[in-house]
Structure 1
Amino acid sequence: MKTHGFLEDDIKVGTWTYYYVNGHRFKEITYENGIENGPWTMWHENGNLYIERFQDRGRTVGIWKEYYENGSLKEVREYRNGEYFPSDFWNESGDQLLLNGNGKKIESFGAGSLDVFEHYFIDGKLIKELRL
């Protein structure tokens, strides 16, 4: 992986860009005195946007957007005071399953995405979790 960025006294400053072997951008992170501070963006290996978020002195704050590999929007969530609040979620077919924090999300975890869960929310609060 190729990286481009600046160091001041061996501390990361400014925007750092990381690249996949194929030359596409992997992620861009803005640093201030070695701490992630500002826009934080990641791309899928095919070049499509993957994640957009914002860092405030190393903490994720505000709106986080995540996209499927095909470029369609997957999830919008918000971080407030270090807490995660899901807002909207779409499946890969484009059906919206979570709207304004109400509904469900389907997520895969683990190597090969073997663990699949349905999470049910009301007003952005998790009320039920099912392993599929």
Structure 2
Amino acid sequence: MLNILLKNYYMKRLSLLAILVLISSSLYAQEYFDKYWTKCSSDTAFYFVTLDKTGGNSHHIKMKYNRKFSKEYLIYKTDDFRNGECTRFRKNGDTVMHIFYKDAKRNGLFRIWKERGHLYKKAFMKDDFEDGITEYYFPNSKISARYVMEKGKVIESNFWNEDGSELDDVRLANIRPKFQGKDENAFIRWVATRLIYPPDCARLNIEGTVLLSFKITAKGYLRDVTAIKSPHFQLEAEAIRVVESSPAWTPAVLHNQVSEITVVFPVIFKKRGI
């Protein structure tokens, strides 16, 4: 008798759980879009949208970069993703970006925040191009750069230091990162001399280019080294190993601020003369 009662109890629990799953699925369905907000399959999708069908019009969106989901997410406040208001958030809930779209293109006020609520950039967009005044700000809220833009091109620029004084030499406002005092070609040579060709790949005559992405932080350190594409997983692992062992760089300067920058970097494997 007890076994029958327990069986009936668990059957009811399972039925209730199934009903809840069905209700949840009907309230929050998923759709897939490419970078231009055209519906597509999950295999080719850039945006993964969890649709809110509760009437709140607050759709949760994840993005996929280099075969991996981003830690950041978007909240879209309209049903039409090609037209509307979009806010991007970090994993911890801090705001990263706020933008308006019209016909799948950025239009209107565009703002970017860095850590701890630091408003970093404010621009005006027209059909995906910066058009008008674009400004960048230091963490103390003072302006570091102002550009007059026309269809994405710089017409005029001015730069300021963190104390509010104007930058005398504008050539110092935007500088690429340097490796041991030299350009990125010096890093290509540094990596090439330290690569150890994976024996299995050498035996199978597997060659090619591993395309890596990594960030050079404002302190000059490398982080988030990942492969964008690779001819073989062993070549990928070796390229990442060597690049991750890099000494510190001289960091980039962007808009008169020492800044983190993302670099796309090729590591070439050839059996002769690597």
Q: TM-score, length-normalised on structure 2?
A: 0.37
The answer to which structure has the higher strand fraction is 1
- List runs of 5+ in structure 1 lacking aligned partners: 118-132
Q: What is the CA–CA distance in structure 1 between the aligned matches of 2:150 and 2:118, rounded to whole Å?
A: 27
Counterpart residue identity of residue 19, structure 1 = F
5 Å-filtered alignment, 1:44-55, equals 44-55=114-125
What residue number does 1:59 align with?
129
SS in 1 for 2:173: strand
Following superposition, which runs of at least 4 residues in structure 1 exceed 6 angstroms of deviation? none
CA contact (8 A) 1:18 1:28 kept: yes
1:106 equivalenced with 2:176 (yes/no)? no
CA contact (8 A) 1:106 1:116 kept: no
What residue number does 1:123 align with?
none
Query: How far did residue 4 of structure 1 move?
Result: 0.8
SS in 1 for 2:116: coil
Query: How far did residue 69 of structure 1 move?
Result: 2.3
Query: How far did residue 66 of structure 1 move?
Result: 0.4
1:2 equivalenced with 2:69 (yes/no)? no
Relative to structure 1, the CA distance from residue 32 to residue 68 in structure 2 (aligned partners, 3 Å threshold; closer, same or farther) is same
Q: What is the CA–CA distance in structure 2 between the aligned matches of 1:39 and 1:48, rounded to whole Å?
A: 17
What residue number does 1:85 align with?
155
CA contact (8 A) 2:136 2:144 kept: yes
What residue number does 2:96 align with?
26
Counterpart residue identity of residue 3, structure 1 = L
Query: How far did residue 59 of structure 1 move?
Result: 1.2
Aligned residues: 111
Q: What is the CA–CA distance in structure 2 between the aligned matches of 1:45 and 1:115, rounded to whole Å?
A: 18
Q: What is the CA–CA distance in structure 2 between the aligned matches of 1:109 and 1:70, rounded to whole Å?
A: 24
**C-alpha RMSD of matched pairs (Å):** 2.2
SS in 2 for 1:75: strand
Identity of aligned residues (%): 23
The answer to which structure has the higher helix fraction is 2
Q: What is the CA–CA distance in structure 2 between the aligned matches of 1:2 and 1:82, rounded to whole Å?
A: 26
Q: TM-score, length-normalised on structure 1?
A: 0.71
SS in 2 for 1:107: coil
- List runs of 5+ in structure 2 lacking aligned partners: 1-71, 178-215, 219-249, 254-274
Deviation per residue, 1:87-132 (Å, 9 max, x gap): 321123332116xxxx524234442353557xxxxxxxxxxxxxxx
Relative to structure 1, the CA distance from residue 3 to residue 51 in structure 2 (aligned partners, 3 Å threshold; closer, same or farther) is same
Counterpart residue identity of residue 75, structure 2 = H
1:39 equivalenced with 2:134 (yes/no)? no
CA contact (8 A) 1:20 1:45 kept: no
CA contact (8 A) 1:30 1:37 kept: yes
The structure having more radius of gyration, on CA atoms, is 2
